[in-house]
Amino acid sequence: MQWTKVLGLGLGAAALLGLGIILGHFAIPKKANSLAPQDLDLEILETVMGQLDAHRIRENLRELSREPHLASSPRDEDLVQLLLQRWKDPESGLDSAEASTYEVLLSFPSQEQPNVVDIVGPTGGIIHSCHRTEENVTGEQGGPDVVQPYAAYAPSGTPQGLLVYANRGAEEDFKELQTQGIKLEGTIALTRYGGVGRGAKAVNAAKHGVAGVLVYTDPADINDGLSSPDETFPNSWYLPPSGVERGSYYEYFGDPLTPYLPAVPSSFRVDLANVSGFPPIPTQPIGFQDARDLLCNLNGTLAPATWQGALGCHYRLGPGFRPDGDFPADSQVNVSVYNRLELRNSSNVLGIIRGAVEPDRYVLYGNHRDSWVHGAVDPSSGTAVLLELSRVLGTLLKKGTWRPRRSIVFASWGAEEFGLIGSTEFTEEFFNKLQERTVAYINVDISVFANATLRVQGTPPVQSVVFSATKEIRSPGPGDLSIYDNWIRYFNRSSPVYGLVPSLGSLGAGSDYAPFVHFLGISSMDIAYTYDRSKTSARIYPTYHTAFDTFDYVDKFLDPGFSSHQAVARTAGSVILRLSDSFFLPLKVSDYSETLRSFLQAAQQDLGALLEQHSISLGPLVTAVEKFEAEAAALGQRISTLQKGSPDPLQVRMLNDQLMLLERTFLNPRAFPEERYYSHVLWAPRTGSVVTFPGLSNACSRARDTASGSEAWAEVQRQLSIVVTALEGAAATLRPVADL
């Protein structure tokens, strides 16, 4: 009904115009204005900024986090319905909304046979057991839907052995234990979160013959050293002693059975025996009160200073317990894991606002919906913002006040916590369509880690739109600063082009933006409010992935008043409007020049001599970077010139396509055959220490100690050619379209 109204208005205007022409155009000179192309409307922007309501975000969060909503659980499905209902609301909904389902492989602990960690005495009896659940501190930790802490995708098994302490479970940590003469075969390794990824701890341990892995969160890493109940939640924002970080230990992302294919019923599925990327040995996370019982009773030599933590004792390496401790010296630790793999239906919800002028250009905005437990922060703080944004935009839409130039697609992804599954399956199913039509992807997962400052990760073309947006929004907290001016106080860098600016982080694979940037090559960003690093060293907000991540936790400690949530909503809202409504796309491709230049300089300074020794020239790379810089600058010039006149919309569309497609030119699906999905040659994972093109950095670090003519040096040359070809291709895309 509202749609017909918009159409009706349009026809009316056309009729008037027709009449004007018949009457002679002097009769209605002002109507000429209606021929101006639809562009960003600052009044609409102001209205949206004003209507984004902190109180409503708070109420959204209360509802979203009322019950645990683990992926594919009944409550997760209830939230699918809640989203559909909001997005189909006649007063504040979108043009259309629907859920779509994938059948994916998830991992759960057994209900009947909980995972247990026991200390087994010399005669085989259990003399001590770790807690199986978190303490029911606020009454929300003891509910039937609180999933027991577990390491998703860790295999079942019941290893038992002497305990060793392996710091963060990095390869170098196990090497250190070996150097110390500790026999690792058949042991249980106690590790702490941080340093390397979850799954990597088990992979590294297994390489050394370790039979089982325990993972805990040290109060030094999460609680600024504090560990007693009166210093932790609900008395502060710190993690209670029984809190346990759950998480996926899968090494890749996407549904494990259907790599590169959507997990629809008809798709080919890999044989379970052939799935790679699961942890090789049983693994179980525990809380630091349990870790203290284990670690503070270890025998053996003192662990290195950097391995010490805040459990209030000297950490030793083991193996086994000390004779004068709480347990008999030859006691062992038994880790019994009964996790099960299960096929489950997991839903994405998509809501669409059709663009008025360029409906075939999409601005995508998304967050996951599934949590580990109540997930007030992760992910509901983001979903609460998503719902408020869609309400405000939906209301303007239904009133007939506004319709964007381009289409806006809102997404609520399923099963992110298990490995970005819903978003990855979506990118697999609609690979071509999304690549051809998506202008940018905006991700707001955890919207508020803490209330000090904005933090943005993204590819260079999004920098300028985020800057434009944040300069116009007041920052919460004391003083009269813009979000931009507050942000620059916490994260800044000196740009050769702009001087001191806020610094954007780069995108790894921590949330649903990963398939969009790495697999599809879509310019992407992730937006949140975060810490003042001078006030805390917590590696993430302390109750992350525990049963203490609740509404009250956010309401009392993270963001009382919800002004940081509102700041994120305004930032994301302004970015969405600018991307969907601006006549010229606000993607500044020349901002890639700085990145390329700094990668090139690092390659010249830190790899130049080595490459020269092996007769490899960086000359073609220098030429390619220079060409890119020149073409990006020239395109910027053409846009400024056009902006001064009244350009033909078709001409602008051609330029906008160049801006949109630039990110795509950096993809090479053959660049990293050992990686899954990663194909963006500038942002693939870097293991080499030189901060340059990742393929080049990694290849050089592998080739360094091999002879010229080795396969490793051939790979360096291949990687160099891949980068040169990508940059030449990027420059060609930016060139005037009639030139080849």
Ligand X SMILES: *[C@@H]1O[C@H](CO)[C@@H](O)[C@H](O)[C@H]1NC(C)=O
Nearer to ligand X, 90 or 144 (CB): 144
x-marked contacts with ligand X along 266-305 as a string, rule CB under 6 A:
-----x--x------------------------xxx----
Number of residues in contact with ligand X, rule: CB under 6 A?
A: 30
Sign of the alpha-carbon dihedral angle for 712, 713, 714, 715: positive
Collapse the DSSP code of 635 into the 3-class scheme (helix H, G, I; strand E, B; otherwise coil) and give the result: helix
Q: How far apart are CA 414 and CA 408, in angstroms?
A: 19
With CB under 5 to 8 Å by kind, the binding choice for 10 among ligand X, Zn ion, none is none
Verify binding: residue 16, ligand X, rule CB under 6 A: no
378 is in an annotated binding site: yes
Phi, psi (degrees; rounded to nearest 5) at 253: -125, 170
451 residue type, one letter: N
With CB under 5 to 8 Å by kind, the binding choice for 148 among ligand X, Zn ion, none is none
**Residue 43's CB: how many other CB atoms inside 10 A?**
9
x-marked contacts with ligand X along 428-457 as a string, rule CB under 6 A:
-----------------------xx-----
Verify binding: residue 476, ligand X, rule CB under 6 A: yes
Query: To the nearest whole angstrom, how small is the minimum distance from the Cβ of residue 655 to ligand X?
Result: 35
Report the residue from 160, 464, 595, 623 that binds ligand X according to the rule CB under 6 A: 160
Nearer to Zn ion, 544 or 666 (CB): 544
518 is in an annotated binding site: no
Report the residue from 55, 471, 489, 535 that binds ligand X according to the rule CB under 6 A: 489
User: Which residue blocks in 153-231 are alpha helix, DSSP H?
Assistant: 171-179, 198-207, 219-222
Nearer to ligand X, 477 or 685 (CB): 477
Collapse the DSSP code of 529 into the 3-class scheme (helix H, G, I; strand E, B; otherwise coil) and give the result: strand
Query: To the nearest whole angstrom, how small is the minimum distance from the Cβ of residue 401 to ligand X?
Result: 32
Residues 6+ apart with CB under 8 A from 82: 63, 64
Q: How far apart are CA 671 and CA 698, in angstroms?
A: 12
Q: How far apart are CA 517 and CA 665, in angstroms?
A: 12
Phi, psi (degrees; rounded to nearest 5) at 720: -60, -45
Nearer to ligand X, 354 or 556 (CB): 556
Closest CA to 478 of 450, 456, 501, 452: 452
Verify binding: residue 323, ligand X, rule CB under 6 A: yes
Tokens 């042991």 locate to: 187
Query: To the nearest whole angstrom, how small is the minimum distance from the Cβ of residue 90 to ligand X?
Result: 28
Binding segment toward ligand X, per CB under 6 A, in 216-224, 290-298, 328-336, 696-704: 328-336
Sign of the alpha-carbon dihedral angle for 600, 603, 604, 605: positive
| Residue 628, CA atoms < 13 Å, CB-side half-sphere | 28
Query: To the nearest whole angstrom, how small is the minimum distance from the Cβ of residue 102 to ligand X?
Result: 9
Find the binding residues for ligand X in span 72-111 (CB under 6 A).
Answer: 103
With CB under 5 to 8 Å by kind, the binding choice for 695 among Zn ion, ligand X, none is none
Structure tokens at 512: 């649903």
Verify binding: residue 336, ligand X, rule CB under 6 A: yes
With CB under 5 to 8 Å by kind, the binding choice for 378 among Zn ion, ligand X, none is Zn ion
Q: How far apart are CA 291 and CA 207, in angstroms?
A: 23
What is the biggest distance separating any 2 CA atoms in the chain, rounded to whole angstroms? 105
Q: How far apart are CA 371 and CA 380, in angstroms?
A: 8
Measure Cα distances from 79 to 70, 94, 347, 380 in Å: 11, 17, 10, 11
Q: How far apart are CA 434 and CA 428, in angstroms?
A: 10
Nearer to ligand X, 204 or 453 (CB): 453
Angle at 230 between CA 225 and CA 231, to 5 degrees: 30
Verify binding: residue 125, ligand X, rule CB under 6 A: no
Q: How far apart are CA 245 and CA 237, in angstroms?
A: 15
Binding segment toward ligand X, per CB under 6 A, in 73-81, 316-324, 636-644, 703-711: 316-324
Query: To the nearest whole angstrom, how small is the minimum distance from the Cβ of residue 336 to Zn ion?
Result: 29
261 is in an annotated binding site: yes
Residue ranges that bind Zn ion, judged by CB under 5 A: 378-379, 445
Binding segment toward ligand X, per CB under 6 A, in 40-48, 51-59, 317-325, 732-740: 317-325
x-marked contacts with ligand X along 497-536 as a string, rule CB under 6 A:
---x------------------------------------
With CB under 5 to 8 Å by kind, the binding choice for 379 among Zn ion, ligand X, none is Zn ion
Query: To the nearest whole angstrom, how small is the minimum distance from the Cβ of residue 370 to Zn ion?
Result: 8
374 is in an annotated binding site: no
Q: Judge whether 254 and 428 are in contact, CB under 8 Å.
A: yes
- Please confirm, yes or no, whether 416 is among the known catalytic residues: yes
Q: How far apart are CA 268 and CA 23, in angstroms?
A: 65
Verify binding: residue 7, ligand X, rule CB under 6 A: no
Find the binding residues for ligand X in span 337-366 (CB under 6 A).
Answer: 343-345
- Over the range 666-690, which residues count as b (16 or more CB within 10 Å of their CB) and which as e? bbbeebbeeebbbbbbbbbebebeb
545 is in an annotated binding site: yes
Nearer to ligand X, 187 or 668 (CB): 187
Collapse the DSSP code of 319 into the 3-class scheme (helix H, G, I; strand E, B; otherwise coil) and give the result: coil
Q: Which listed residue (416, 629, 631, 663) is catalytic?
A: 416
Q: How far apart are CA 394 and CA 90, in angstroms?
A: 9
15 residue type, one letter: A
Q: How far apart are CA 452 and CA 448, in angstroms?
A: 9
Q: How far apart are CA 290 and CA 118, in angstroms?
A: 10
Query: To the nearest whole angstrom, how small is the minimum distance from the Cβ of residue 57 to ligand X?
Result: 15
Verify binding: residue 158, ligand X, rule CB under 6 A: yes
Q: Which residue's C-beta sits nearest to ligand X?
A: 142
543 is in an annotated binding site: no
Verify binding: residue 187, ligand X, rule CB under 6 A: no
Q: Judge whether 667 and 583 are in contact, CB under 8 Å.
A: no
Structure tokens at 41: 């409307």
Verify binding: residue 139, ligand X, rule CB under 6 A: yes
Nearer to ligand X, 327 or 372 (CB): 327
Nearer to Zn ion, 206 or 525 (CB): 525
Closest CA to 192 of 162, 223, 231, 161: 223
Distance from first CA to last CA of the chain, Å, rounded?
A: 47
Nearer to Zn ion, 439 or 444 (CB): 444
Q: Is 648 exposed, middle or buried (0-12, 13-18, 19+ CB in 10 A)?
A: exposed
55 is in an annotated binding site: no
Find the binding residues for ligand X in span 541-560 (CB under 6 A).
Answer: 560
594 is in an annotated binding site: no
Collapse the DSSP code of 513 into the 3-class scheme (helix H, G, I; strand E, B; otherwise coil) and give the result: helix
Q: How far apart are CA 661 and CA 438, in angstroms?
A: 9
Query: To the nearest whole angstrom, how small is the minimum distance from the Cβ of residue 384 to ligand X?
Result: 18
Binding segment toward ligand X, per CB under 6 A, in 248-256, 283-291, 350-358, 485-493: 485-493
417 is in an annotated binding site: yes
x-marked contacts with ligand X along 611-650 as a string, rule CB under 6 A:
----------------------------------------
Rounded to the nearest 10 degrees, how much is the dihedral formed by the CA atoms of 713, 717, 718, 724? Answer: 160
Verify binding: residue 566, ligand X, rule CB under 6 A: no
Query: To the nearest whole angstrom, how small is the minimum distance from the Cβ of residue 41 to Zn ion?
Result: 33
With CB under 5 to 8 Å by kind, the binding choice for 445 among Zn ion, ligand X, none is Zn ion
User: Which residue blocks in 614-648 are alpha helix, DSSP H?
Assistant: 619-644
* Site for ligand X, rule CB under 6 A: 103, 136, 139, 142, 158-160, 271, 274, 299-301, 320, 322-323, 329, 334, 336, 343-345, 451-452, 476-477, 488-489, 492, 500, 560
Specify binding-site residues: 258, 261, 368, 378, 417, 425, 428, 445, 545
Specify binding-site residues for Ca(2+): 258, 261, 425, 428
Which sequence positions are flagged as catalytic? 416
Specify binding-site residues for Zn(2+): 368, 378, 417, 445, 545
